[in-house]
Chain A
């Protein structure tokens, strides 16, 4: 029994090392893996280095059963308003400077503002001028400003993981199938499980190393906000990587056509790029879009990472994302191992 386990992992190890060598000796791929995310972050840092907000944003807390309240001030064109059905989430947005003023449909006499934010103070004066100071109960929060760059960093890191996992696994396996590497391995005693495990581990290792370097590099230039635990962040990243690699294994399970694989991989990455909150929040999106977003592994990785980095959330409060990512990993891996064929079906 122990013999068999040792033998299993010995085979996985030699296959993984072969794949690692293939990766780090391919200069072009290596350089691109590091350069691409740096370029994106640099571009963002540059683009948003000036003042960014041109309008005021007012958050309105509306409990699930209630209808939107009619607040005259919100009809002004220079004010954007966002409704929240989670009061704590809305308060976090106020703390992070994403919302300038928070109102509640439940307590129409209260308002919340951020004392550290000049725009929040300006919005407060506007609001009180409209509604009369005496009638309103002032509540304050404090918090450090969250720049767009701070907000987008977890997204960019996640996006890089997504590209690295999907293309890094999908393309390689399809190429192996196309040029006969899989055929050669098929006639050795290697099982599909051993082969796939080796590929997953190799890519996992690569993505962790790449991500750590990019994280450190970006921090050096942008000094972004990180309020949570690094361990939690790494656990979320690992879960996200495994889920996305497993997703790529499904895409690469049968085809030997690089063109088809390319199309399928683009089809898989494009929705995640748009709907996984890499670049913008879906707080204001319609429910069906949010539902689609919740079906994508990247969404959970990015949302959890963002909670950890921006709000200092612990893993305990992010168990929803953890369970979803775990479940996705298991379902995708099971599907991939059932679907996998050495040669083109």
Chain B
């Protein structure tokens, strides 16, 4: 079966920078596909080239094996990182407006329930809170019952509760078998939502796979963390596996039992001991030498 979306050697140059530098990937049908990377990595440029907003400098984009045509605009649902809508309109009127722009649509009641908009319908759409507005924009992306949904930093700038609400929404539409392409710089979001990830930095793909496979491939260890105040011994005997973080040391450990025994043997206080799994954040740091949030 042809991938729902395929991108070959995509490239975008601006006058002074190369925003996207030879990116290729395939999105198989029925997955949530994530582009993870820090701000300025080229995620938005990539997704907007696929959406047809930005003209690529080079490369090819195929939807269901063909170059994008009118079928694509009918079957794609799109949410931008930030959008305004017309002013002075109620949320209901915004929904009705976009409902009227497509020949085939999701029934309005279903959409309102799916995105939990019942309470917001009579409110001025420009005066909704960040999370409410994102739910309305999410509803607009779903209004044509799309086959593929593009979400550009869907939870950026939201408070934790609103973020969790939106994650639930995205899980719900994944449950309906929709294809999702989302960009994010939250590794937690990528880990929870995405079946398959590409990690982007400086316009290039630096790694690709499912979150689990990526972590398994790059990390064969855990992190044992101890506050600096508890660590009275010469830390260099743990070299090369120890790293200094803000207020604690982080020991890379193949076997947590062995590491703990050594620490106990050295008489280190274990009150502040934490053991954690490597995350995509660690992976990113390992691959690029800088953090996702830089």
Contact = CB atoms under 8 A, between A and B. Distances in A.
Interface of A: 7, 10-11, 13-15, 17-19, 21-22, 25-26, 176, 179-181, 183-190, 343
B89 A187 contact: no
Contacts of A183: 53, 80, 83
A172 to B, nearest CB: 10
A11 B100 contact: yes
B83 A180 contact: yes
A187 B149 CA distance: 12
Contacts of A188: 73, 98, 101-102, 144
Q: Which of A11, A13, A185, A187 has the most CB of B within 10 A?
A: A187
A181 B98 contact: no
A179 B126 CA distance: 12
B175 interface: no
B86 A18 contact: yes
A6 to B, nearest CB: 10
**Contact residues of B: prevailing secondary structure:** loop
Contact of A187 (B53, B70, B84, B88): B53
Interface in B106-156: 140, 144
B84 A18 contact: no
Contacts of A176: 86
18 contacts: A7-B103, A11-B100, A14-B96, A14-B97, A14-B101, A15-B97, A18-B86, A18-B89, A18-B93, A19-B86, A21-B88, A21-B93, A26-B88, A181-B84, A183-B53, A187-B52, A187-B76, A188-B101
A130 to B, nearest CB: 68
Contacts of B53: 183, 186-187, 343
Contacts of B17: none
Contacts of A187: 51-53, 73, 76, 78
Nearest to A189: B73
Contacts of B140: 184
A334 to B, nearest CB: 23
B234 interface: no
A190 B101 contact: yes
B82 interface: yes
Contacts of B73: 187-189
B4 interface: no
A15 B86 CA distance: 10
Contacts of A25: 88
B7 to A, nearest CB: 17
A26 B87 CA distance: 9
A21 B78 CA distance: 25
B82 A180 contact: yes
Given A11-B100, A18-B86, A187-B53, 20 more contacts: A14-B101, A15-B97, A15-B101, A18-B97, A21-B88, A22-B86, A25-B88, A179-B84, A180-B80, A180-B83, A180-B84, A181-B84, A181-B85, A184-B80, A184-B85, A187-B78, A188-B73, A188-B98, A189-B103, A343-B53
A324 B101 CA distance: 35
B97 to A, nearest CB: 5
Contact of B87 (A7, A22, A190, A343): A22
Interface string B63-85: 00000001001101010101111
A189 B101 contact: yes
